[in-house]
C-alpha cells in the first residue's frame, strides 16, 4: 500500500465554517498507559485516530493486551497483558512511550524498554522520569540499548522535581497509584492533561488530590478497576485551526472548545486583532482583522503560552504588519522550521532562543519539508496564506498529532491534495 508522505496546499482561500476538534493526543496517551494498571477492560471514548495512538496501541498489544475500536471509542483489555519488555522498534517512534515504565512497575514490578524517540525539537532528557521512579524505590539500570527497572513493591515517598516536566509528572502518578503508602509530588506540572489523567485514574479507584496545583498527593491502593472516560478535545489542535483561520484572515466556529485551556493563546490572538467569544458552548473566532504584530511572546509551562503553538503562531505573524518577537523557553530546537518558512518568503531571524519575525505582505508557494509535528502544522498554515501551490514533505510527522488535518481544513474552505509515494 502506498504511503501518504506529501501534500499540496493551494493558498489564497479564506477559511470559514464550523469545526469539531478531535480528542486530545496528550490526554489519550497517558490514559492508555494507565489502562495497563487494571487487569480488565477500559474504554477511552472519542479517542483520536492518529499515528501516536496507534503506536501506543501496538505497544500494549505487544505486552499481551487485546484492543479494538468502535467508531472513535478505543477498548483496551489488559487482562492478559503480562509482558514486561517493550522493543525499541516501538519506543523509538514516540517520546511518550517512556511513561509505560512506571505503569509496568506498578503492574508487574519490572519493566525493560528501548529509549524513547519522537520529534527532534531539542533535548528532552529522561532524568526526571528516572528520578521519580528512584524516589519510589525502583532500581533503574541504563545501558546503551535499553532502560530497565525493577521493584517488587513500590513505596510512597516525596518526589520534589527540580524543574517541571509533564511527562515526568505523569510517570510519577502512574507509578504511585498502586504503590504502598502515600506519595507527594512537589513542583509537578499543572497542564490540563495532568488533570485529565488524574480524573481518569480516580474513576478507576485511585486516590488522588491536588491536580492542577504544584503539589499532588496520591494514596496507593491495592488494585484499580476498569475506567471509562470521554477524552477532552485537543487544545493544541484547536489553537492550530485558529491560527489557520488567522493566517487566511477568516472566521471559524469551534463547536467543542477547550474552555480556559486556551486563555494564554487567545490573549495573543486578540493582540493580533482577532476577536473571539464563547457563545452557547461554542468558540466564535473572527480573524478578518488579525494583521497586527505582537512585540513580545514567550513560551512557558501551563498556564503560560504553549510551546506547541509557537510554530503555528510564527506562521501567522510572518504576514502581520510590523515586527514580532518570540522567546522559546522550553525547547531549543523549536526554531528549526524557520529555514523552511523563509524559503516561502518569510523574514525571520533567530538569535539563540529568540526569533524576530518581520511581517511581509505575502508568502509564496514552494517545496518545503516538515521535520517535526508542530513545525509541519506551521508549514501548512503558511501555505494556506501563500500565493500559488506549496508542496509539503514529511506529512507523516503531521499525522502524529492531527487525525485528518487535510479533511478538516478542506471542510473550512481550504484546498489540499494528498500525494502518495
- pLDDT tens, residue by residue, 247-292: 999 999 999 999 899 999 999 999 999 999 999 999 999 999 999 9
Q: What is the pLDDT of residues 79-98, one digit of tens each?
A: 999 999 999 999 998 888 99
Report residue 91: phi and psi, to 5°.
Answer: -65, -30
CA dihedral 199, 203, 209, 215 (to 10 degrees): -50
Please state, in angstroms and rounded to a whole number, the distance separating the CA atoms of residues 43 and 23.
14
* Total residues found in the chain within this entry: 421
3-state secondary structure of 328: coil
Catalytic residue among 47, 78, 119, 135: 119
Report residue 5: phi and psi, to 5°.
Answer: -135, -10
Output Rg (C-alpha) for the chain, integer angstroms: 21
Per-residue cell: 53: 495512538
DSSP for residue 318: T
Task: With residue 283 as reference, give the H or E element that holds it.
Answer: strand 282-286
- What angle is formed at CA 231 by the lines to CA 316 and CA 174, rounded to 5 degrees? 105
Domains of the chain plus CATH, in order, are 4-22+233-420 (3.65.10.10), 25-230 (3.65.10.10)
What average pLDDT does range 38-46 have in this prediction? 98
Q: How does residue 28 score in pLDDT terms, banded at 50, 70 and 90?
A: very high
- Is the pTM above the cut of 0.75? yes
What average pLDDT does range 302-330 have in this prediction? 97
Please state, in angstroms and rounded to a whole number, the distance separating the CA atoms of residues 149 and 137.
10
Which residues partner with 157 through β-bridges? Answer: none
Predicted pLDDT at 251:
98
Sign of the four-CA dihedral 140, 64, 29, 25: positive
Please state, in angstroms and rounded to a whole number, the distance separating the CA atoms of residues 300 and 181.
33
* Catalytic residue check, 215: no
**Percent of the chain beyond pLDDT 70?**
97
Predicted pLDDT at 120:
47
Per-residue cell: 326: 518570540
Q: What is the pLDDT of residues 216-256, one digit of tens each?
A: 999 999 999 999 999 999 999 999 999 999 999 999 999 99
Q: Which residue has the cell 515504565?
A: 101
What average pLDDT does range 16-21 have in this prediction? 98
Amino acid at each position: 500500500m502506498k504511503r501518504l508522505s506529501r501534500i499540496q496546499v493551494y493558498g489564497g482561500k479564506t477559511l470559514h465554517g464550523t469545526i469539531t476538534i478531535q480528542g486530545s493526543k496528550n490526554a489519550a496517551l497517558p490514559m492508555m498507559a494507565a489502562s495497563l494498571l487494571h487487569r480488565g477492560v477500559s474504554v477511552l471514548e472519542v479517542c483520536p485516530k492518529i499515528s501516536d495512538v496507534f503506536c501506543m496501541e501496538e505497544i500494549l498489544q505487544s505486552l499481551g493486551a487485546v484492543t479494538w475500536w468502535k467508531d472513535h471509542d478505543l477498548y483496551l483489555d489488559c487482562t492478559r497483558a503480562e509482558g514486561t519488555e517493550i522493543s525499541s522498534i516501538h519506543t523509538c517512534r514516540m517520546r511518550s512511550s517512556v511513561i509505560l515504565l512506571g505503569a509496568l512497575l506498578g503492574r508487574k514490578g519490572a519493566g525493560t524498554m528501548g529509549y524513547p524517540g519522537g520529534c527532534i525539537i531539542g533535548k528532552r532528557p529522561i532524568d526526571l522520569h528516572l528520578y521519580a521512579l528512584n524516589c519510589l524505590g525502583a532500581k533503574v539500570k541504563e545501558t546503551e540499548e535499553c532502560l530497565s527497572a525493577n521493584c517488587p513493591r513500590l513505596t510512597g515517598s516525596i518526589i520534589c522535581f527540580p524543574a517541571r516536566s509533564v511527562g515526568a509528572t505523569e510517570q510519577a502518578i502512574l507509578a504511585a497509584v498502586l504503590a504502598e503508602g502515600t506519595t507527594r509530588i512537589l513542583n509537578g506540572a499543572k497542564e490540563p492533561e495532568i488533570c485529565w489523567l488524574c480524573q481518569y485514574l480516580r474513576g478507576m479507584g485511585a486516590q488522588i488530590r491536588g491536580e492542577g496545583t504544584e503539589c499532588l498527593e496520591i494514596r496507593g491502593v491495592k488494585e484499580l478497576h476498569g475506567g471509562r472516560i470521554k477524552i477532552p478535545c485537543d487544545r493544541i489542535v484547536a489553537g492550530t485551526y485558529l491560527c489557520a483561520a488567522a493566517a487566511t484572515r477568516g472566521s471559524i466556529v469551534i463547536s467543542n472548545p477547550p474552555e480556559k485551556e486556551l486563555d494564554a493563546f487567545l490573549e495573543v490572538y486578540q493582540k493580533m486583532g482577532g476577536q473571539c467569544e464563547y457563545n452557547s458552548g461554542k468558540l466564535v473566532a473572527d480573524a478578518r482583522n488579525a494583521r497586527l504584530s505582537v512585540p513580545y511572546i514567550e513560551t512557558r509551562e501551563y498556564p503560560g503560552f504553549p510551546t506547541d503553538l509557537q510554530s503555528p503562531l510564527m506562521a501567522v505573524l510572518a504576514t502581520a504588519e510590523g515586527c514580532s518577537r518570540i522567546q522559546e523557553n522550553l525547547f531549543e530546537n523549536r526554531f528549526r522550521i524557520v529555514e523552511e518558512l523563509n524559503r516561502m518568503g518569510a523574514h525571520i531571524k533567530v538569535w539563540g532562543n529568540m526569533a524576530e519575525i518581520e511581517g511581509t505582505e505575502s508568502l509564496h508557494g514552494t517545496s518545503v519539508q516538515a521535520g517535526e509535528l508542530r513545525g509541519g502544522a506551521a508549514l501548512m498554515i503558511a501555505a494556506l496564506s501563500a500565493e500559488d501551490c506549496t508542496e509539503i514533505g514529511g506529512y507523516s510527522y503531521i499525522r502524529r498529532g492531527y487525525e485528518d488535518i487535510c479533511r478538516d481544513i478542506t471542510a473550512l474552505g481550504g484546498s489540499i491534495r494528498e500525494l502518495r509515494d
